[in-house]
Amino acid sequence: DEHGIDLRTQAIADHLTKWRTNGQDVAFLIGGANGLDPSLKANGNHIWKLSSLTLPHAFARLVLIEQLYRAWTILQGHPYHRE
């Protein structure tokens, strides 16, 4: 969401750790050209901004997947992620 918060990859890794530790179910929603319905946004715990750029839906999914993978590699101590 264009009004969501910017997160660094380490912060995403921290969220992954918290969700895993607490046994929380997690769902990621990516809005279409008109964004998400306000009722969905109101029920969300976090609203993130993937980029300040307008991205095609498929590319936004790819960016999300890559960031989740990158965060996971941080937690595994894998050298993929670099600051």
The residue with greater pLDDT, 13 or 3, is 13
> In this predicted model, what pLDDT tens digit does every residue of 28-81 receive, in sequence order?
998 887 888 899 888 888 888 888 888 898 999 999 999 999 999 999 998 876
The residue with greater pLDDT, 17 or 35, is 17
Average pLDDT over residues 17-29: 91
Distances (CA, A) of 79 to 16, 71, 74, 76: 18, 11, 8, 9
Q: What is the pTM of this model?
A: 0.82
What domains are there in the chain, each with its CATH number? 9-76 (3.40.1280.10)
Query: What pLDDT, on a 0 to 100 scale, did the predictor assign at position 82?
Result: 67
How far, rounded to the nearest angstrom, does the alpha carbon of residue 62 sit from its chain's CA centroid?
11
